[in-house]
Amino acid sequence: MNTDLFINNEWRPAASGKRFPVVNPATEEVIAEVAAGDAGDVDNAVAAARTCFESDAWRNLSARKRGRLLAKAADLLEGRLEEIARLETAHNGKTLFESKIEITMTVNTLRYYAGWADKITGDTLPVDGPFLVYTLREPIGVVGAIVPWNFPLNIASWKFAPALAAGCTVVLKPASETPLTALAFAELVLEAGFPPGAFNVVTGGGSTAGAALVRHPDVDKISFTGSTEVGRQIMRMAAETNKRVTLELGGKSPNIIFADADLKAAVRGAQTGIFYGKGEVCAAGSRLLVERSVHDQVVEQLAEGAKKLTPGDPLDKNTRLGALVSKRQQETVLGYIKKGVAEGAALVAGGKAVSPPPNGKGYFVEATVFDQVSPEMTIAREEIFGPVLAVLSFDDFEQGVKLANQSMYGLAAGIWTKDIQKAHRAARAIRAGTVWINAYNFYDSGAPFGGFKASGFGRDLGKEALDGYTEVKTVWVGL
Ligand code: NAD
């Protein structure tokens, strides 16, 4: 596959000639050497995106044609689903089972926004006086999309699909751990027949290529998904050029099990809530809040389930727990586990690094459950981003909701109860961008997703995402 930068529909090596290695975290092998783009390459990509934006090639292409190109890209991706899912597994370590779900969702997202392209409209406004007043929704311009490594192609599509549908042009900077599927997608963009400069990919480091994109005066908007810490830096840097920003940041999401819940379903939901995607999921239900009267039985079932969920070869169709993305991430997660033990939480399942067959290598961590966690402990407060669950207990509704909101984050939450009034009361009381009731970890292209509080602002997905890629223009006509 191509491992150069994708700029103006051409494959180009980095101007510096530098490359960086991409490692398969399940085998520890270097699987590619990818172009290390930096500020000069970002300049070239932004220039291509700007030229395309200012020309008639994209924003003034009929909206229907833009939609058709997005739909074509979706079809091409669907045609190579298995191959691209394998590539996602190769650089990320997630199971092939999960990669297929991820790439399917990417296909859906492309189709969803392909449908929106010719339905982005303004309003006609009843104002005082002899005027016809209407609004136009115009594309914001050149969009810099900076994305993390956990759902590499899917999260990228949450940005480039609505941006392209709205008539923006895009420079995508994938995470340096996982640049391969963005490059594979660029091949499909070329095949689909997008005009040069509409979609560009600059691979490279965050502090080099990423920061250059954020600082670039010709980029109109940064759409970022990643850690809260980097999100803050981006906000500061973007201020220098009054750039618009959308930030999808970290989380420490509460998953609340009330005593009247269907406990079997709740335990299953708690498990997929934290172990799906090896816990490297921004909305992972990493704080499990259990009503005290059912606490013992919930924890017992959870520990039992976690012990059965053994890490293994991500390409094996039966594996449900893959490798963490990198050695560094494995070390971070193990560091948190150590802290949990040191601060007095009770380790009831997992806790160790493993190197399963067939390679006897790789950055795996067991499915880990901590019981008797208190809100002050580090593992109850900080995002671990790994397969580590912290279980806390509460006595009544008020205490449960209070505990749920006791976090600087507000990305998502889960509620398990059979009482519909209680469920909806809790959904209202929790400060988070997504609340699942008797479900966890479901996403859809049509359902907006994003954070409250330190989990960021702006929304991906749904029609709401389009707001982030359009400017509103008000037109007054004297009658
Ligand atoms: P990260 O913040 O380290 O990196 C994200 C991206 O930003 C990468 O492409 C990186 O190269 C780039 N980057 C790093 N420093 C930069 C800088 N100074 N300027 C510009 N770009 C820079 O995050 P990560 O480790 O890749 O991903 C994990 C984090 O992402 C977690 O905190 C997780 O919660 C969050 N996340 C959030 C969502 C969401 O929708 N809210 C979804 C997925 C992941």
The catalytic position among 98, 102, 177, 248 is 248
pLDDT digits (tens, 9 = 90+) for 276-290: 999 999 999 999 999
Atom of ligand 1 nearest to the CA of 204: 11
Percent of the chain's residues with pLDDT above 90 = 99
Calpha distance 367→304 (Å, rounded): 11
The residue whose two tokens read 């609505």 is: 162
- Evaluate if residue 357 carries a pLDDT over 90: no
Per-chain mean pLDDT for the chain: 98
Which ranges in the chain are annotated with CATH 3.40.605.10?
5-249+455-478
pTM, to two decimals: 0.98
> What does the DSSP assignment read for 417-430?
-S-HHHHHHHHHHS
What pLDDT is attached to residue 50? 98
What pLDDT is attached to residue 333? 98
What pLDDT is attached to residue 399? 98
Q: How would residue 149 be classed by pLDDT, with cut points 50, 70 and 90?
A: very high
Cβ of 233 less than 6 Å from ligand 1? yes
Which ranges in the chain are annotated with CATH 3.40.309.10?
254-444
Residues forming beta bridges with residue 248, ordered by sequence position: 225, 456
CATH of region 5-249+455-478: 3.40.605.10
Contact between 368 and 306 (Cβ < 8 Å): yes
Calpha distance 385→367 (Å, rounded): 12
Contact between 97 and 85 (Cβ < 8 Å): no
Question: Could you tell me which of 404, 447, 393, 407 has the C-alpha nearest to residue 428?
Answer: 404
CA 439 to mean position of chain CA atoms: 19
CATH of region 254-444: 3.40.309.10
The catalytic position among 280, 282, 291, 366 is 282
Calpha distance 430→64 (Å, rounded): 40
- Residue 52 catalytic? no
Q: How would residue 455 be classed by pLDDT, with cut points 50, 70 and 90?
A: very high
pLDDT digits (tens, 9 = 90+) for 385-423: 999 999 999 999 999 999 999 999 999 999 999 999 999
Query: 424 alpha carbon to ligand 1 midpoint, in Å?
Result: 32
- Evaluate if residue 337 carries a pLDDT over 90: yes
Query: 328 alpha carbon to ligand 1 midpoint, in Å?
Result: 14
Query: 451 alpha carbon to ligand 1 midpoint, in Å?
Result: 14
- Evaluate if residue 359 carries a pLDDT over 90: no
Percent of the chain's residues with pLDDT above 70 = 100
Torsion angle in degrees (nearest 10) through CA of 94, 188, 167, 45: 90
Question: Could you tell me which of 200, 187, 61, 208 has the C-alpha nearest to residue 142?
Answer: 200
Tokens of 188: 């499909």
Query: 428 alpha carbon to ligand 1 midpoint, in Å?
Result: 29
Pairing of strands 388-394, 287-291: parallel
Q: Work out whether the CA dihedral 453, 455, 459, 461 comes out positive or negative.
A: negative
Q: Whose CA is nearest to atom 14 of ligand 1?
A: 206
Cβ of 385 less than 6 Å from ligand 1? yes
The residue whose two tokens read 């993305």 is: 325
pLDDT digits (tens, 9 = 90+) for 227-262: 999 999 999 999 999 999 999 999 999 999 999 999
Q: What backbone phi and psi angles, to 5 degrees, belong to 134?
A: -140, 160
- Residue 331 catalytic? no
